[in-house]
Structure 1
Amino acid sequence: MSAVYFLLLVLPLLSAQTFHWGPCPTPCVQPNFKLEKYLGKWYEIEKVPSCFSRGKCSEANYSLRKDGTIKVVNSKVVKDKLRSVEGTGVVRNAAEPAKLGVSFSYFNPYSPYWVLSTDYTSVAIVYSCTDFLNLFHFQYAWILGRSRFLPSWTMKHARKLLEKEGIDVSRMQATDQNCKDKKKKTAD
């Protein structure tokens, strides 16, 4: 019965994420993933919308810290103000380096951040899924680029890969990357 109450509490959040019944799928990830080649700046080209993905000019910058963790800095423009948040990424299992975990708070566990495919120089396809007692799950997916815009054939290929892995792309939305004045206005 407590699962029913829990479900009622999270129902208002469902409108933002892609919600599905049952456990998370387990898509294939990038074979022989090389974290060092993945580091650097990536722009969000398309995503499955979420409560934390509002804004425009979204980008992520990944760098290695001295302790071996990954510094993750996400930034975006919200209401004409530049907003940034810093988090930590970890390789959870050295045998599967493309299955990372990312957290933006000391109080939250690491969320899955799986690199399904990347060529390291132009495009990356990333997936995350959070499962609740194998009853239901929330899916997130991102198509990232090293530049603010990707060719349409690259986008079609990325969506097809996600679909082939059983990931719902029907709600994916393009991210506004028209960002001429991004650095002019900042906020704490």
Structure 2
Amino acid sequence: MLVLCVLLALLSPLTSAQTYRWGACPIPKVQPNFQLQKYLGRWYEIAKLPARFERGKCIEANYAIRPDGTIRVLNSQFYKDKVRTAEGTAVVPDPRNQAQIGVSFSYFTPYSPYWILSTDYSSVAVVYSCTDILRIFHVEYAWILGRSRFLPPETVRYAQDLLLTEGVDLFRMTATDQTGCKDD
């Protein structure tokens, strides 16, 4: 119990920028027959659960296959008057389930889950990530992504309903500011 209290005390400064929940991660259904090639390209963040590494506006991600078969992940955001980017690597650990991707932004960190719950490839994607901490609690992220910076309200509602159906608490989900962004 003492270890748990110390662990929670150490994590408390981060709680405002993360979503923690008790218990093990849920196991949501992912996109059946997911086609990675159709998912590649640029996605704009429409809404998200809090993430300490995403504090800016105009947040987007671009996915491309590298010559070695891994996936290049290039995230960008406008934060503190500057465009900031982070490049990572994604892999498909199990070719039989390509909607369950692993993503890492450092050679020193393990791959984190990046599960595509639903996508039509051309307008919207719903993504979920969850990591267990000693099976006592978990850290979760969820994103609603669009191929354009703005989605119709009914499309956002569809994505939110899907997350709710899978047991994801959306109380802390916020819209991402995509106004005034420069497009390439």
- Name the TM-score, length of structure 2 as normaliser: 0.96
- Are 2:124 and 2:145, in contact at CA under 8 Å, matched by a contact in 1? yes
CA distance in 2: counterparts of 1:23 and 1:168, whole angstroms: 14
Q: Structure 1 167/180 Cα, relative in aligned 2: closer, same or farther at 3 Å? A: closer
2:119 paired residue number: 118
Alpha-carbon deviations, 1:37-77, whole Å to 9, x = none? 00000000000011111000000000000111000000000
1:21 paired residue number: 22
| Matched AA of 2:105 | F
| Matched AA of 2:3 | S
CA distance in 2: counterparts of 1:60 and 1:18, whole angstroms: 21
| Matched AA of 2:28 | P
Q: Secondary structure at the match of 2:61?
A: strand
CA distance in 2: counterparts of 1:165 and 1:63, whole angstroms: 28
1:98 paired residue number: 99
| Matched AA of 1:36 | Q
1:186 paired residue number: none
2:133 paired residue number: 132
| Matched AA of 2:92 | V
CA distance in 2: counterparts of 1:7 and 1:182, whole angstroms: 41
Identity %: 61
- Are 2:58 and 2:181, in contact at CA under 8 Å, matched by a contact in 1? no
Q: Secondary structure at the match of 1:116?
A: strand
Alpha-carbon deviations, 1:79-125, whole Å to 9, x = none? 12000110000001111110000000000110110000000000000
Q: CA deviation at 1:180?
A: 3.9
CA distance in 2: counterparts of 1:47 and 1:4, whole angstroms: 28
CA distance in 2: counterparts of 1:104 and 1:163, whole angstroms: 28
Q: Structure 1 40/6 Cα, relative in aligned 2: closer, same or farther at 3 Å? A: same
1:176 paired residue number: 177
CA distance in 2: counterparts of 1:15 and 1:138, whole angstroms: 12
Q: CA deviation at 1:13?
A: 1.0
Which runs of 5 or more structure 1 residues have no equivalent in the other structure? Answer: 184-188
Q: CA deviation at 1:164?
A: 0.2
Q: Secondary structure at the match of 1:13?
A: helix
Query: Do structure 1's residue 67 and structure 2's residue 61 form an aligned pair?
Result: no
2:79 paired residue number: 78
2:144 paired residue number: 143
Q: CA deviation at 1:182?
A: 6.7
1:54 paired residue number: 55
- Are 1:77 and 1:182, in contact at CA under 8 Å, matched by a contact in 2? no
Which runs of 5 or more structure 2 residues have no equivalent in the other structure? Answer: none
Q: CA deviation at 1:166?
A: 0.2
| Matched AA of 1:80 | D
Alpha-carbon deviations, 1:131-171, whole Å to 9, x = none? 10110011100000000000000011000000000001111
- Are 1:82 and 1:182, in contact at CA under 8 Å, matched by a contact in 2? no
